[in-house]
Amino acid sequence: MTIERTLSIIKPDAVAKNVIGQIYSRFENAGLKIIAANMAYLSRSDAEKFYVIHKNQPFFKDLIEFMILGPLMIQVLEGDDAIAKNRRLMGATDPKKAETGTIRADFAVSIDANAIHGSDSQETAATEIAFFFPEINVYSQRNVSSGTF
Ligand code: CMP
């Protein structure tokens, strides 16, 4: 197993539903540590930069309008196999296709309002983490075991 980091965003729909804590519990129960966190509104230009990879997709405009509707909860997760583990916890992009018990199946209503974003590869994770967090604000816990306290 490799210790990885991944970027996670709780989107405006899930923040408005008041389920940040329930989603954080799922990360923690799966062994993922929250090593950076920030609540923020995205400006339109930052949303367009963050999702630039999708800029030619037909859903790009709706995606940007949705992501600037309200505050986001943005975090870095660290742990064994964190990228794939987080994607399993999230479930399929379209909540109608997401497995029962996943975050999107439980908290999302549509492919646009799909509750959560997570990096899809090591390369994307590095870029997405750097987009939101300077390294000095990322507090690795890899050398801290619960037996320390
Ligand atoms: P996310 O994981 O944040 O990455 C891009 C987002 O675009 C995705 O979640 C969805 O919310 C949104 N989206 C809307 N339509 C589609 C689509 N057909 N395929 C992929 N993503 C889509």
* pLDDT tens per residue across all 149 residues of the chain: 799 999 999 999 999 999 999 999 999 999 999 999 999 999 999 999 999 999 999 999 999 999 999 999 999 999 999 999 999 999 999 999 999 999 999 999 999 999 999 999 999 999 999 999 999 999 998 888 878 78
Question: How far does residue 37's CA lie from ligand 1's centre (Å)?
Answer: 22
Q: Is 93 in the pocket of ligand 1 (CB under 6 A)?
A: yes
Pick from 138, 143, 108, 145: nearest CA to 6: 138
Q: Are 121 and 83 in contact (CB under 8 A)?
A: yes
- State residue 123's pLDDT score: 98
Report the atom number in ligand 1 closest to the C-alpha of 118.
Answer: 2
> What SS3 class is residue 4?
strand
Q: Are 80 and 24 in contact (CB under 8 A)?
A: no
Pick from 75, 99, 92: nearest CA to 6: 75
In angstroms, how far apart are the furthest CA atoms of the chain? 50
**Residue 101 zone, left/alpha/beta (φ > 0; ψ -120 to 50; rest):** left
Question: How far does residue 80's CA lie from ligand 1's centre (Å)?
Answer: 26
- State residue 149's pLDDT score: 83
pTM of the model: 0.97
Q: Is 63 in the pocket of ligand 1 (CB under 6 A)?
A: yes
- State residue 36's pLDDT score: 98
Residue 144: both structure tokens together: 């801290």
Q: Are 38 and 101 in contact (CB under 8 A)?
A: no
